[in-house]
Amino acid sequence: MNVLVTGGAGYIGAHTCVALLEAGHTVIVADNLCNSKVESINKVQQITNKDLTFYEIDTTDEKAVDTIFSNHEIDGVIHFAGLKAVGESVENPLAYYYNNLVGTMVLIKACQKYGVNRFVFSSSATVYGDNRVPFVETMDLLPTTNPYGETKAMSERILTDIANANPVFSVSILRYFNPVGAHESGLIGEAPNGIPNNLMPYVTQVAKGKLEKLRVFGNDYPTVDGTGVRDYIHVLDLAEGHVAALENLTEGVHVYNLGTGKGTSVLELVKAFEGANDIEVPYEIANRRPGDIASCYADASKAKRELGWTAKHDLISMCRDAWQFEKNYKE
């Protein structure tokens, strides 16, 4: 298939481009590089020894998006392009609603104009809100605590309404749990700008000595050791999940959790990282972070049943690969 990957220079997008190329698909990337560098495109080509086509464009730019659809016979779209920093979305909600919603609608419009009927969308477990774990696709969604989460819930709704009105439009909504890790080559991985918000990049930067110590946000949650529990998933498994979703897409709207089904606490992750890499990660217990929930992990059985997909990498390989990338990474 000829696959348009928006946000393909980013963290999950680049790993998915590798998986698509390795599965024999042709890849066209559209990315404005607002949170990534063009080098990741070169690295994808280096890892796979295959070429892809890259457009530096904004997905909210209707004309630029139209040009891509008229230049290529696109069979399917995987839409990663979006802003994703929760705190920033609270400070600048308009940027988030505009970028994430308009970008999605511009792409759907182009799909309708050019008869492209396969659409895979990056959603997030954040749409479940503070539900009972494990999270199942059939649950009623609860309000999210920030504009970023709302853009995911709204995009899901927009895609669902459009698919319902136009039954040949096939949509796969993928709700990611916590993507971590990197390609085993160490060439592509997660390189956030500034001080990381997420746990794994923070841990790798503490291990490297770039940051002094980890602050563990709360140890009084009703969990195994009081610290927050999440479902960490290796980005390579997540990338494979996109290939499976695209290749198995049938008419209608399909929602899948992409997680391992296993919850890990902050302290369990720190211990696993130290053990996997034989390196110390100093930490202190700090206050809870506003908006955090105690536990979030997936019921991942639907993706297994319908897509034949399950996560294969364990926490140790997530920790090893994340560290391997950070060790080699130069700003």
Q: Give the active site residues.
A: 148
Q: Is the dihedral of CA 222, 281, 84, 261 positive or negative?
A: negative
Nearer to ligand NAD, 26 or 59 (CB): 59
Shortest reach from residue 171's CB to ligand UDP, in Å = 24
Q: Report phi then psi at 258, rounded to 5.
A: -110, 95
Question: Closest by alpha carbon to 157, among 123, 181, 118, 125?
Answer: 123
Give yes or no for residue 315 binding ligand NAD (CB under 6 A): no
From 5-13, 64-72, 111-119, 283-291, give the range in contact with ligand NAD by CB under 6 A: 5-13
Per partner kind, with CB cut-offs from 5 to 8 A, the member of ligand UDP, ligand NAD, none near residue 243 is: none
Give yes or no for residue 247 binding ligand UDP (CB under 6 A): no
CA-based Rg of the chain, rounded to a whole angstrom? 19
Give yes or no for residue 266 binding ligand NAD (CB under 6 A): no
Nearer to ligand UDP, 111 or 276 (CB): 276
Per partner kind, with CB cut-offs from 5 to 8 A, the member of ligand NAD, ligand UDP, none near residue 117 is: none
Give yes or no for residue 231 binding ligand NAD (CB under 6 A): no
From 1-9, 71-79, 165-173, 191-199, give the range in contact with ligand UDP by CB under 6 A: 191-199
Structure tokens at 135: 């999270």
Q: How far apart are CA 301 and CA 308, in angstroms?
A: 10
Site for ligand UDP in 267-306 (CB under 6 A): 289, 292, 296
Q: Is the dihedral of CA 155, 76, 261, 36 positive or negative?
A: negative
Looking at 202, 297, 323, 325, which residue binds ligand UDP (CB under 6 A)? 202
From 48-56, 61-69, 160-168, 192-200, give the range in contact with ligand UDP by CB under 6 A: 192-200
Nearer to ligand NAD, 182 or 253 (CB): 182
Give yes or no for residue 33 binding ligand NAD (CB under 6 A): yes
Beta-strand ranges (E) seen in the chain are 2-6, 26-30, 53-55, 76-79, 118-124, 170-176, 178-180, 214-217, 229-230, 232-234, 252-258, 264-265, 283-286, 295-296
Give yes or no for residue 259 binding ligand NAD (CB under 6 A): no
Looking at 3, 9, 21, 253, which residue binds ligand NAD (CB under 6 A)? 9
Q: How far apart are CA 310 and CA 308, in angstroms?
A: 7
Looking at 122, 172, 227, 277, which residue binds ligand NAD (CB under 6 A)? 122
Question: Within the chain, what is the greatest distance between any pair of CA atoms?
Answer: 55
Give yes or no for residue 196 binding ligand NAD (CB under 6 A): no
Nearer to ligand UDP, 181 or 228 (CB): 228
Question: How many CB atoms are closer than 10 A to CB 154?
Answer: 16
B/e letters for 112-121, b = 16+ CB within 10 Å, e = fewer, are eeeebbbbbb
Q: How far apart are CA 93 and CA 58, in angstroms?
A: 18
Residues 6+ apart with CB under 8 A from 169: 111, 112, 117, 119, 162, 163, 251
Q: How far apart are CA 220 and CA 207, in angstroms?
A: 25
Shortest reach from residue 90's CB to ligand UDP, in Å = 14
Nearer to ligand NAD, 175 or 320 (CB): 175
Site for ligand NAD in 77-106 (CB under 6 A): 80-84, 99, 103
Binding interface with ligand NAD (CB under 6 A)? 6-7, 9-13, 30-36, 58-60, 80-84, 99, 103, 122, 124, 176, 179
Binding interface with ligand UDP (CB under 6 A)? 178, 197-199, 202, 214-217, 228, 230, 266, 289, 292, 296
